[in-house]
Copies of this chain bind each other. A is one copy, B any other.
Amino acid sequence: MGEITSKRQQQIIDAAIKVFSKKGYNGTTTKEIAKEAGVAEGTIFRYFRTKKDLLLSLVSPYVVRSLADTLEEFSGKDDETVFKAIIRNRLKIIRENLDLVRLLLAESQFHPELREQFVGKIVMQAASILESYISEKIKNGEFKDIEPGVAVRAFAGMTGIFVLWKEFLGGEKYIAFDEEKVIETVVDIYLNGVRKRPCGGSELE
């Protein structure tokens, strides 16, 4: 649970993310992690008291920094540009940390401590960035008067399901989607749905 300091610790953490995400926490042996990290099994226990400690250290502020990173400044840009940028940014970050995300989603089911850190530190923080943007628009009168929390999640859900489909369920074997087209469509649906009387604002015919 402590901070990451040494190179060894980082090696072990990287290996753990990789193997845990492939085989699950309970399906992974400390021997495998050691092998993947290129250290002896005993070394793991010098840095992490137990296997579970190692799991929990994977959501340490350091490891997770990249997942919760802030978005660029958007002032002056139009909604469509902003929302497309948000999707692309989120997709990029998730893909760069695919193993970690996969792991956190799967193991959150079984480890309340992990779930709390995951939801509290990552999900909530990521949501709040978009939420403040949307709240602003609602106050301006540009967007309908809906609950910002609902609006954020609706958008996140529309986007997230395509990641789930492709990266988690292997859905491309069934239907594959062109990513740019999906982004275009999703943003169009969302903005037209969320704006007050858009009346012809849609780009799609």
Note all chain B residues with C-beta closer than 8 A to A120.
Answer: 174
Note all chain B residues with C-beta closer than 8 A to A112.
Answer: 170
Task: A57 to B57: give the CA distance in the assembly, Å.
Answer: 35
Note all chain B residues with C-beta closer than 8 A to A196.
Answer: 202, 205
Q: CB distance A154 to B150 under 8 Å?
A: no
Q: How far is the CB of A76 from chain B (nearest CB, A)?
A: 25
Q: How far is the CB of A184 from chain B (nearest CB, A)?
A: 9
Q: How far is the CB of A187 from chain B (nearest CB, A)?
A: 10
Q: CB distance A24 to B185 under 8 Å?
A: no
Q: Which residues A179-205 have CB closer than 8 A to chain B?
A: 181-182, 185-186, 188-194, 196-200, 202, 204-205
Note all chain B residues with C-beta closer than 8 A to A188.
Answer: 144, 146, 193
Knowing A26-B27, A199-B199, the reply to whether A182 touches B109 (Cβ < 8 A) is: no
Instruction: List A residues at the B interface (Cβ < 8 Å).
Output: 22-27, 102, 106, 108-110, 112, 115, 118-120, 123-124, 144-147, 149-151, 153-154, 156-162, 164-165, 168-171, 174-175, 177, 181-182, 185-186, 188-194, 196-200, 202, 204-205
